[in-house]
Amino acid sequence: MKNQESNTYYLEEAPIKKAIAHLSIPMMLGMSAGTIYNIINVYFIGLVHDTAMLSAIILGLPIFTILMAVGNIFGVGGGTFITRLVAKGEFEKAKGVAGYSFYCSILVSVLIAVIAYFAITPLIHLLGADDATFDYTKQYALTLFVGGFTIIWNFALEQIVRSEGASKESMYGMFISIVLSIIFDVLFILVLNWHVFGAALSMVLANIGSTIYYLWYLETKSEHLKGFLHHFKIDVKAQLEIYKIGVSELLQASFLIVTTLLLNNYAMDYGEHVVASFGIALRIVQLPEFFSMGLFFGIIPLLAYNFSNKNFTRLKAAIKQTAIYIGAISGIFITVSFIFREPVMQLFSNDAEVLTIGGYVLIAMLISALFNGFTGLFTGVFQASGEGVPTIIMAITQGVLFIPVIIVLHHFFGLYGIIWSMTITEVIACAIGFVLFLIYNKKINTSQLHSKLA
């Protein structure tokens, strides 16, 4: 029997509910706290009472999304592979994957910063900025791109830390980033009056703090990855294992950016108040969404470990229990958010138009959040199992579907079509994920039967 203090015990032997709690609760707390920080960040900018500044931060959201996705190429792709290697006892190879993922994230982050610096003006126009928001958006975007290496490192390392089931340590890193972000927000936005630049700089510096913590943990406390910085050479087959899962994160982010750009540009036709309404509603609805994300992100190492060890009974039990938790948590938080939507919206704006439109947008997004939790679970199952094709299908589906949905709905229903386009897309994506999961489950059942007969 494994030492009950070790992370491996929770992956391999602990009762399912206990294992899910150990792995997911820290993720839920960390991600929810991160959402609270995003809300506070908007709140601080809201105190300036400048709708153009608020809109600039919202327009710049795709930049953070793409930097996060690049980090997750190596974090999710490398992390799930590391878990499967650890399950097989291939610890040296796991160190090699961790080192390769870290050093590649450095190279890619530098490349992105250089490209963005020389293409910043057309990028700002592409984000949907108008004359009123252009300068603020450019300021925000440049700061994020130049300091984006910290965001990429943070997300890559956070996933690698979790690959061993070290969910508490992953949470500690998130909390470090959040605390630093709030401190820097107060200093830069309210004290020094750096406003939009201050909000971006705060994010960059906060990510440095959590990155330092993750490096310290991996090099001194990790069960299997100590010394990973001295390992970086892996064969082509191992590289493909990283990218076949990791590339789905980039695809998903790319399509998310396309959908955000479409949403921003359509919304800008109706004015800054509509853009601000979407931004505020999005940040509120992130709380129940991130609780669900904490659940399915948290169990990915559990799923990967037991898939690799062919413990399919434990694998299926973990998936079933997580689905129950996602349904319950999403339902509770969505109901509470719906009931108190008006007073919550008033925390961020006193603009009557923003409050009216934002309340309606929030209803549509709350419905999306319920389906989003299950869509994320399906994707997490495929990632953990190294199933590249269904993972990529799920990544592409949400983005590709949204384009015709928003175009058609906007044509026939105007602003209300824009508001409900995301909800309809999410429902269809969830249905596709369920069909792919049925195919996956059939394969698992067949493998389980063969194992019993062998």
Question: Mapping DSSP to helix (H, G, I), strand (E, B) and coil, where does residue 44 land?
Answer: helix
- Work out the burial of residue 43: count CB atoms within 10 Å of its CB; fewer than 13 is exposed, 13-18 middle, 19 or more buried: middle
Residues 96, 232: contact at Cβ < 8 Å?
yes
Number of H helices, E strands in the chain: 18, 0
Q: How far apart are the first and last CA of the chain?
A: 25
DSSP 8-state secondary structure symbol assigned to residue 229 = G
C-alpha neighbours within 13 Å on the C-beta side of residue 220 = 7
Cα separation, 7 vs 276, in Å, equals: 43
Q: What is the signed CA dihedral for 361, 363, 367, 373, rounded to 10 degrees?
A: 70
Amino acid type, 433: G
DSSP 8-state secondary structure symbol assigned to residue 191 = I
- The DSSP result for 93-126, as a single string, is HHHHHHHHHHHHHHHHHHHHHHHHHHTHHHHHHH
C-alpha neighbours within 13 Å on the C-beta side of residue 329 = 23
Number of other CB atoms surrounding residue 112 within 10 Å = 18
Residue 366: name the closest of 434, 282, 280 by CA. Answer: 282
- What is the pTM for the complete model shown? 0.78
Residues 362, 345: contact at Cβ < 8 Å?
yes
Name the token pair of 51. Answer: 């709708």
- Helix 91-118 vs helix 134-146: angle between axes, to the nearest 10 degrees? 150
Q: In this structure, what are the phi and psi dihedrals at residue 89, rounded to the nearest 5 degrees?
A: 80, 15
Taking only the tens of pLDDT, the chain with its 454 residues reads 455 557 788 888 889 999 888 888 887 776 666 566 666 666 677 676 666 777 777 777 778 878 888 888 888 888 888 988 888 888 889 899 999 998 988 888 889 888 888 888 888 887 777 777 788 888 888 888 888 888 888 888 988 988 888 888 888 888 888 888 888 888 888 888 888 888 888 888 988 999 999 999 998 888 888 888 888 788 888 888 888 888 877 777 777 677 777 777 787 777 777 877 777 777 777 777 777 878 888 888 889 888 888 888 899 999 999 999 988 888 888 888 788 877 777 777 677 777 778 778 888 888 888 888 899 899 989 988 888 888 888 888 877 888 889 889 988 888 888 889 888 999 999 999 999 999 999 988 887 776 666 5
| Alpha helices (runs of H) in 186-271, residue ranges in sequence order | 195-220, 236-268
